[in-house]
């Protein structure tokens, strides 16, 4: 790995860590770096990508918890069942291709953009501490989003935020704290599984992790203390989803 590739990986990792902390889909950046810049095949890139995601999520979780934004006693059900779903997703991802899921993901992102833009005030409210989502909803939703995250990872953060903010009535910042804790737990398990299968390139994974960890920690620290964090998180979420739609549907080709 040359100096140029190293610099792209660290800077791109830091940017991905920032995006993952406040929104999601930062893996679109890191997977592109791993495959197009560093030359890893898709299955190795998918596994190696989890190294940076794991370290970035642990750093962000620590920052949110340190600043009182992570209530584990309120969120343990989501942590547990999302992790269970993710383990299943990781195991399935080793056995079959994710191409069909990626096609579905493209159209889901369009739906997510509509959900995010309609009545944006829903995304800017504070956590409703008196509301408790029924287990009949929270458990299957957690299992489903966990499975998706374990299977593909890319876009998981966006879907998780939709569930936590619009259905479970968390604030956007508090939802991001739970999201990072969930991802930190199941990604650690995913890394162990992928390593056992010999699918992780630790050298490239460690370089990306340097940038992602720094980006994740400093962004979580800022979001925990800034009164405008919910507003900025919503704006970044909109930008991320729009960018994902443009990339997935190759819309730039229509403008060229």
Mapping DSSP onto H, E and C, the string for 220-234 reads HHHHHHCCCHHHHHH
Confidence at 85, pLDDT banded by 50, 70, 90 = very high
* Distance from C-alpha of 205 to C-alpha of 81, rounded to nearest angstrom: 27
* Distance from C-alpha of 241 to C-alpha of 155, rounded to nearest angstrom: 9
Q: Do 195 and 188 touch, CB atoms closer than 8 A? A: no
Helix or strand holding residue 152 (H, E) = none
The string of pLDDT tens digits covering residues 21-58 is 887 777 778 888 888 888 888 888 888 998 999 999 99
Q: What 3-state DSSP class applies to 40?
A: coil
Q: Considering the chain, what is the average pLDDT of its residues?
A: 85
* Distance from C-alpha of 121 to C-alpha of 93, rounded to nearest angstrom: 37
Confidence at 114, pLDDT banded by 50, 70, 90 = confident
What is each CA distance from 92 to 96, 146, 201, in whole angstroms?
A: 6, 12, 20
Total structural domains in the chain? 1
Instruction: Sort residue 4 into left (φ over 0), alpha (ψ -120 to 50) or beta.
Output: alpha
The string of pLDDT tens digits covering residues 136-175 is 999 999 999 989 887 776 778 888 888 999 899 999 889 9
pTM exceeds cut of 0.75: yes
What is each CA distance from 190 to 14, 34, 48, 144, in whole angstroms?
A: 21, 18, 10, 16
For residue 223, what are the domain limits?
3-255
Contacts of 39 (CB under 8 A, 6+ apart): none
Confidence at 201, pLDDT banded by 50, 70, 90 = very high
**71, pLDDT greater than 90:** no
* Distance from C-alpha of 149 to C-alpha of 157, rounded to nearest angstrom: 8
* Distance from C-alpha of 156 to C-alpha of 142, rounded to nearest angstrom: 11
Q: What are phi and psi of 150, to 5 degrees?
A: -70, -35
Closest CA to 201 of 23, 25, 17, 9: 9
Residue count of the chain, please give it: 256
């Amino acid at each position: 790995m040359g100096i140029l590739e190293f610099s792209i990986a660290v800077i791109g990792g830091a940017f991905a860590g920032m995006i993952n902390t406040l929104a999601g889909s930062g893996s679109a950046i890191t997977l592109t770096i791993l495959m197009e810049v560093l030359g890893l095949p898709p299955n190795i890139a998918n596994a190696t990508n989890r190294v940076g995601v794991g370290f970035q999520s642990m750093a962000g979780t620590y920052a949110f918890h340190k600043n009182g934004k992570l209530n584990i006693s309120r969120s343990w059900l989501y942590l547990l069942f999302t992790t269970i779903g993710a383990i299943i997703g990781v195991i399935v991802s080793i056995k079959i291709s994710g191409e069909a899921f990626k096609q579905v993901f493209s159209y889901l992102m369009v739906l997510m953009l509509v959900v995010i833009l309609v009545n944006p005030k829903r995304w800017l409210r504070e956590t409703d501490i008196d509301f408790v989502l029924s287990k009949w909803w929270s458990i299957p939703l957690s299992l489903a989003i966990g499975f998706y995250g374990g299977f593909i990872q890319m876009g998981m953060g966006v879907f998780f935020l939709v569930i936590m903010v619009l259905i479970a009535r968390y604030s956007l910042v508090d939802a991001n704290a739970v999201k990072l804790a969930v991802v930190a737990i199941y990604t650690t398990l995913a890394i162990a599984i992928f390593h056992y299968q010999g699918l992780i390139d630790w050298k490239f994974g460690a370089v990306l992790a340097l940038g992602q960890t720094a980006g994740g920690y400093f962004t979580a620290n800022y979001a925990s203390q800034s009164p405008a964090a919910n507003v900025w998180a919503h704006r970044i979420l909109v930008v991320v989803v729009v960018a994902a739609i443009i990339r997935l549907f190759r819309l730039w080709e229509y403008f060229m």
